[in-house]
Structure 1
Amino acid sequence: MNDEENGPDDDLKSRLHAMEARLRRMRDQRASHNEDARRAANSRNSVQDQSKEIRSNIEEKLTEQKEVRSRAKAHQTQRDAIQSRIREIINSKKGRRNEAGKAKSDVVELSEAIAEISQIENKLMTDGTLTLKAENRLLRKLKNLASRRDELLPKAAEFEAINIDLGDLEGTIQTLKAEADAQHEEMKKAHEEADAIWEEVKPMLEERDFLRSEGDRLHEIFVESKELANAVHAEIESLLKEVNEARDEMKSRRDERARVIREHNESVREALKTPDKDEGLADSLTDRLLSEGSLTLGGSMSGDPQASPNANTAIPLKRRKSRKVGAFRKTRK
C-alpha cells in the first residue's frame, strides 16, 4: 500500500530533482555567458579608450599640420605677391627704357646742335672772308640752332633722371627677387615639416583602424554572449515554472496526506473516547433512556416482593437537563 502511494511521489521527486539539477546547470551556463560578455565588454571598453586616446593624438597632429600648411600658404602668398610686383616693375622698366631710347635721340640731337652752334660762332669770329649774305645765313641758322638747343635741354635732363630711375628699378628688382626666394624657401620648409608630421600620423591611423576593428570584434562577442545568456535565461524561466508547478504539486500531496492522517487520528480518538469523557455521547444516552419510558429509583427490581410499596410506584420522569451518566443517586429509604 505504501509502495503504491509513494510511487507517484517518487516519480515526481525524481523529476523535480532532475529539473533542479538541470536548472543549476543552466544557471551556471548563463553565468558563464554573462562572464564572457563582461570580459568582452571590459576588453572592448579598454580598446575604445585606447582608440579615443589615439584619435585625440591624431587630431592634435593634424591640427599642427594644418597650422604648418597655413604657414606655408602664407609664405606662398607673399612670394606670389612679390613676384607680381617684380613683373610690374619689369614692365615699368621696359616702358622707361622706351622713353629713355626716345630721350636719348633728343640728347644726341642736342649734342649735335651745340656742336654746330659752336662751329658757326667760331666761323663768324675767325673767318674774315665771309660775305654779308653768307654771314646773315649763318646767323639765321645759329638762331634756329639756339632755339632747338633750348627745346632739347629739358629732355636731356629727363634722360638723366630716367637713367637714374632705371638704376633704382634694377636694384629694387634684385631686392624683391631675393625676398621672393626667401619666402619660397620658407614655404618649402613648411611643406617639408607638414610632410614629416604626416609621416608620424600614418602609423597612428593604422593603429586607430586596428583598434576600431578590434573594438567591433569584441562588441560582437559581447552581443553574442548576451544573446546566449538571454536565451538560457528564457529557458530557465520556462523550466522554473515547471519546477514551481512540481513543487506545488508535491506540497499539495503532502498537505492532502497530512489532512488524511489528521482526520484518521481524529476519528480514532473519537472512537476511543468513554462516555464519561464524551459529553456528547452522554447526552445522547440520556436522551435515549428518557425516550424509552420511565426510570425506577431505589436499586431493587420491580418484581421483588420485599420491595417497599413505594418502590412499585412509577415516578413519571420529566425531561430534565441532561446530566452525565453515573450522576444519578439512590433515594434514601
Structure 2
Amino acid sequence: MSEETQIEVSSADELITDEELQDRSKGQLIKNAGQFRDRRNELNQLASSRASKRDELNAKTREKVDAAQEHREKRDTLNERVQEHKEVRNELNAKANKLFDKVDERKADLELDEGKGLEELKEEIEQLEFKQQTEVLSPEDERELIEKIEEKREEYQDRKEKMEDSGDLEELVEEAEEVRGEASNHHEKVTELADKAQKHHNEMIEAYREADDIRDEADEMHEAFVEAQEAADAHHEAFVDVQKRLRELDKQEEEDRKDEREAKREEAKAEAEEIYQRFQEGETLDTDDLRKLQKSGLL
C-alpha cells in the first residue's frame, strides 16, 4: 500500500448519511459495507505504518538528545577543569610578578640596571688594549687611551663587586622564571581544554539541531497517523452503521415473512371454516376441500 493513499474523510457522515442508510437497497448496503470494511482495514494498516515511523523518529530524537546531553556534560566537566587551571595560572602569575618585582628592587638597590654588563665591559677593555698594542699613537693619544682603559677596568671591577654582593639575586631570578614557566604550562592547559570544551559545545548544538529537525518530522508523521486513524475510525463507524441497518432490514424482512405466514394461516383458516360450513349444510366436498379441512384440523 502506498504512503500516498488519499485521505479525504474524517467522519462517518461524510461517507454515508442517515437518509442514504434508509433509502438504499439491501444489495447496495451490502456492497457499501464491504467497501467500508476494506477501506477501514487499509487505513488501519496505513495508520500502523505511520505510527511505527513516528516511533522510530521519536527514538532517533531521543538518541540525538542523549548525545547532546553527553556533549553538554563533557563540555561542563572540561570547563570546570579550565577554571581550575585558570585559577592556578593566575595564582602563579601573581607569585611570579611579585618575585620579578623583588628582582627589580634588588637590581635597583645594587644599581645593576645602570651601565653595561661585565661581558660587554670586558670586550671593550680587550679592544682598547689591542689598539694600544698594535697602533702607533702620539704620546697624548696614548695617554688618553691608557686613562680610558683604566676607567673601564675600574667600572668592570666595581660592577663585578656589585654582582658578587648581589647574593641570591640569581636564585631569585631563576625562581621567578620557574614560577612563570609553571604558569605558562597551566595557560597552555587552559587553551587545550577550552578548545576541547568548545568542540563538545559545537557538537552539542549540532545534536540539538538535528534532534529538533527529527522531532519536526516525527510531529508531521504523528499528524499523518492521526489523519489515517481518524479516517479508519470513520470508515469503521460507517461500516457499523451499515451493518446495523442491514440487521434492521433483516429483522423487518423476518417480521414481514412472519406477518405473511400469519395472514396465510388466517386466510386458510377462514377458507377451511367456510368449507366446513358448506360440509355441515350437506354440500358435497371435493378432494381439495377435504385436504384443506384436514390441514386445518376441522375434520
TM normalised by structure 1 equals 0.53
Residue 43 of structure 2, aligned match among 14, 28, 33: 33
Task: Quote the residue 1:171 is aligned against.
Answer: 174
Q: Which moved more, 1:169-178 or 1:85-94?
A: 85-94
- Residues 1:253 and 2:263 aligned together: no
Q: CA RMSD in A?
A: 3.6
1:1-333 superposed matches below 5 A: 15-96=25-106, 163-198=166-201, 200-201=203-204, 204-270=207-273
AA matched with 1:62 = R
Contact 2:78 2:196 survives alignment (8 Å): yes
Give 1:196 shift: 3.9
Contact 1:69 1:191 survives alignment (8 Å): yes
Contact 2:68 2:205 survives alignment (8 Å): no
Give 1:93 shift: 4.2
Alpha-carbon separation, structure 2, partners of 1:269 and 1:97: 152
Deviations 1:44-84 (A, max 9, x none): 11121122223222222322232222222221221111112
SS at match of 2:167: helix
Contact 1:96 1:162 survives alignment (8 Å): no
Deviations 1:17-44 (A, max 9, x none): 2122112212222222222111100111
Deviations 1:145-185 (A, max 9, x none): xxxxxxxxxxxxxx999933543332221111110111111
Q: Which moved more, 1:202-211 or 1:180-189?
A: 202-211
Contact 2:44 2:232 survives alignment (8 Å): yes
Greater relative contact order (Cα 8 A, min sep 6): structure 1 or 2? 2
AA matched with 2:29 = M
Deviations 1:83-102 (A, max 9, x none): 1222233344445556667x
AA matched with 1:52 = R
Equivalences, count: 210
Task: Quote the residue 2:129 is aligned against.
Answer: none
Alpha-carbon separation, structure 1, partners of 2:26 and 2:217: 45
Give 1:195 shift: 3.6
Unaligned runs of 5+ in 1: 1-11, 102-158, 282-333
Contact 2:58 2:215 survives alignment (8 Å): yes
Alpha-carbon separation, structure 1, partners of 2:49 and 2:92: 64
Give 1:228 shift: 1.8
AA matched with 1:77 = E
TM normalised by structure 2 equals 0.58
